[in-house]
Structure 1
Amino acid sequence: MTGANDTERHARAALTRIIEPGDTTGGRWLREHGPTTTLHRLTTPGPPLPGVTPKRWAGLRARAAHTNPDHDLATAHHAGARFLCPGDQEWPTQLDDLGDARPTGLWVRGTPDLRTWALHSVAVVGARACTEYGAHTAARITAQLAEEGWVVVSGGAYGIDAAAHRGTLAVHGATIAVLAGGIDHAYPRGHTHLLQRIAEQGLLIAELPPGDHPTASRFIQRNRVIAALTRGTLVIEAAHRSGALATARTAQRLGRHTMGTPGPLTSAQSAGVHELLRGEATLVTDADDVIELVGTIGTLAPRREGPLLPRDTLPPTTSDVLNALPAHGTAHPHDIARHARTTPDDAIAHLYELHSLGFVERNGDTWQLARHHPPHPATPAPQP
């Protein structure tokens, strides 16, 4: 894979300060003209590139006049970050699925290889104002995913995002935070320590250059990167208008798996997830369910069954005789045989077997259920 040369890298670094994340018009310019020509057109007098109004072109030109890619690259280097371009060996090619909305470049902080990590990653997102149930669920599932070798990707925000990152870090797992601002400033400020831990143990990535600040639209556009980067998106708690649902819908458009964990029917914070589950999303309850979807072919979640009861170990014919006894009182072997659809001799044989296992008691010529069933799964006696 051929990476960008120095001229293209500087041009893309400059363009991250000019073109907003997710701007498909700018993405089309990059595809048709390349980063160097696009930057030249934005920084020199001449007619505007197609697809923008004169007012918007003037705004882009004003931004372009204040770019200093050498300074941004030096600032990133000082912060321990690097700048990736499409075509670089470390570039996650699944981001190319975004088409003209593909990031111009990515500012990355942390030592692991982004491309390698992204190939085995799952997005976990949800409500900022999450409930204790949601935070616990996110931490539990992400810890399980991390222990199975999966990389957890989220947005570094309050609520479910934070719980997902912390659940992963708690088991020394791998996690990526996709930021809506510059790579060198923590946002939200309350997550300064958390984001520092992620940078040390995992990766921080951003489309915006150092020093740039998040806005409402940038948070929305950040979600498309989370969806495209990963093999699937899990939503844990989201109201009807939650940005986490936008991440899931982008994942669906890109052909990625979408998943949700159910919450209380009365919880507004789970209403959006429930609506998602009524559509194409899959209900999951733990990491095994998630891995069955996003993992390799043949990776199945373990079969879930209730506790093994003593009567579950009985052969069918013996169980039929046991079920033929009344819940209260006694019954004659002839009546038991009739209800069990067998002969009286067979019924008596099975009754003695059940007596030896502690299921029934004899009362003269009649039989009744034992007052106390066996406390542990029983091993049936051999048939007489």
Structure 2
Amino acid sequence: MTTVCGLPALAVKEQISRVLVDGADLDVMRAAFARASWTTLVEPGDRVAGKLIQMCGAERALQFLIDRFTAKEIMQECALLDESKDDNQSCEEDIAEGLQRWIPRLNSADALNAVHHAAQLGAFLLTPEQEGWPGGVNDLGHHMPLALWGRGQRSALAGFDNSLAVVGARASTGYGEHVTMEAVSAIAERGVAIVSGAAYGIDGMAHRSALAVGGITMAFLAGGVDRFYPSGHDALLGRIMDSGVILAELPCGYAPTKWRFLLRNRLIAASTQATIVMEAGWRSGSLNTANHAASLNRPLGVVPGPVTSASSAGCHRLLREYDAVCVTTASEMLELLPGFNPESPE
């Protein structure tokens, strides 16, 4: 075929090859470009798009939009009619609503521009078919990311196989930062990768503590990988890229929003083997990450704080209302990781 998703194949190949590993074959390029295109069409975690792509493939699903298929025609093409009648009706309605969201945003130039912008930044595109994909996010089912845009060291992606999410309040206290520094430093020295969201407070301390001991750390962003947020962490994110990686499911140029931060949290919880909440107030956003970890049956550790401190009220809430484990030391946190061997040298 001379076209890919309605665009000249040579133009697509020229652009997409710049954000993929060397030697990627044409089939990988086609699938990757289709997924890159989908990231410009949908918001993170779009369940309907996720289901459609898992059933039909990213390129075929995108072609349905280009050819202006109706929801019924898409259902027939994807052979979904073997489900129950009620399920079929519900699925068709979902797809019809999805088409109303996606079609207005369909622009072939957007996809090429997203890839071109990423290549100029030295960013890369990661898809489920490629080595380095954090397999844990597949547990999100239809809500899994369609692709991930990254900047930094591709080799650091292997760290997801032995990783710990460390999250907490932006308005952290000296107590929370001290516990985070001590614990994360010891954990990172054991070769465990630290994953967080690069926010002020506990997130930032977790990243800095891992970097201080030469450990690997990864950060998930709520906007594009060119939109460093918060701006006060520009230098920190640069340091993370020097030895680790930053990732986002939105293309370059997309701004972080409150809703996207909440959706970003599911990636932090799903990509890692366990989650630790270091310090959290009653309404801290880190409780959202903890909720995702619990729903995915990931081990959840919580550091207690003074009962008089509002900054630890969320942690105590998790210990009361969730199946969370009280942890106070690096060793207790490491015990939450599957296959952890306490006899191995510190």
User: Structure 2-normalised TM-score?
Assistant: 0.82
- Indicate the SS of the match to 1:139: helix
Task: Identify the match of residue 190 of structure 2 among 137, 148, 165.
Answer: 148
Aligned pair in 2 of structure 1 residues 56, 296: CA closer, same or farther (>3 Å)?
Answer: closer
User: 1:259-287 CA distances to partner (integer Å, 9 max, x unpaired)?
Assistant: 01111111122111111112311111121
Q: Distance in 1 between matches of 2:142 and 2:311?
A: 33
Amino acid at match of 1:37: R
Contact residue 156 and residue 243 of structure 2 kept, 8 A? no
Aligned pair in 2 of structure 1 residues 135, 32: CA closer, same or farther (>3 Å)?
Answer: same
Amino acid at match of 2:33: H
Task: Identify the match of residue 17 of structure 1 among 27, 40, 52.
Answer: 40
Task: Identify the match of residue 92 of structure 1 among 134, 155, 177.
Answer: 134
Name the structure 2 match of 1:47. Answer: 70
Q: Percent identity?
A: 41
Moved more, 73-82 or 200-209: 73-82
How far apart are 1:58 and its partner, in Å?
Answer: 3.0
How far apart are 1:69 and its partner, in Å?
Answer: 2.2
How far apart are 1:241 and its partner, in Å?
Answer: 2.2
Amino acid at match of 1:147: E
- Indicate the SS of the match to 1:36: helix
Aligned pair in 2 of structure 1 residues 201, 301: CA closer, same or farther (>3 Å)?
Answer: closer
1:161 aligns with 2:184: no
Q: Distance in 2 between matches of 1:169 and 1:115?
A: 16
Amino acid at match of 1:13: A
Contact residue 219 and residue 246 of structure 2 kept, 8 A? yes
Runs (4+) off by over 4 Å: 53-56
How far apart are 1:297 and its partner, in Å?
Answer: 5.0
Structure number, greater radius of gyration = 1
Q: Distance in 1 between matches of 2:229 and 2:67?
A: 35
1:293 aligns with 2:336: yes
Name the structure 1 match of 2:83. Answer: none
Task: Identify the match of residue 311 of structure 2 among 259, 263, 269.
Answer: 269
- More relative contact order, 1 or 2 (CA 8 Å, 6+ apart): 2
Task: Identify the match of residue 127 of structure 1 among 169, 179, 194.
Answer: 169
Q: Distance in 2 between matches of 1:112 and 1:173?
A: 15
Q: Distance in 2 between matches of 1:60 and 1:33?
A: 16
Name the structure 2 match of 1:37. Answer: 60
Aligned pair in 2 of structure 1 residues 236, 161: CA closer, same or farther (>3 Å)?
Answer: same
> Cα RMSD over matched residues?
2.1
Moved more, 251-260 or 289-298: 289-298
Structure number with the higher helix fraction is 2
How far apart are 1:215 and its partner, in Å?
Answer: 1.1
User: 1:239-272 CA distances to partner (integer Å, 9 max, x unpaired)?
Assistant: 2222211211211221211001111111122111
User: 1:68-121 CA distances to partner (integer Å, 9 max, x unpaired)?
Assistant: 322222221221211011121221222111110110001111114354210110
Moved more, 127-136 or 95-104: 127-136
User: Structure 1-normalised TM-score?
Assistant: 0.74
1:244 aligns with 2:286: yes
- Indicate the SS of the match to 2:57: helix
Name the structure 2 match of 1:347. Answer: none
Q: How many residues align?
A: 301
Moved more, 111-120 or 228-237: 111-120
How far apart are 1:57 and its partner, in Å?
Answer: 3.1
1:1-384 → structure 2 map (5 Å cutoff): 5-48=28-71, 50-52=92-94, 57-65=99-107, 67-278=109-320, 279-296=322-339, 298-299=341-342
Q: Distance in 2 between matches of 1:260 and 1:124?
A: 10
Contact residue 17 and residue 67 of structure 1 kept, 8 A? no
Q: Distance in 2 between matches of 1:198 and 1:253?
A: 29
Gaps of 5+ in 1: 303-384
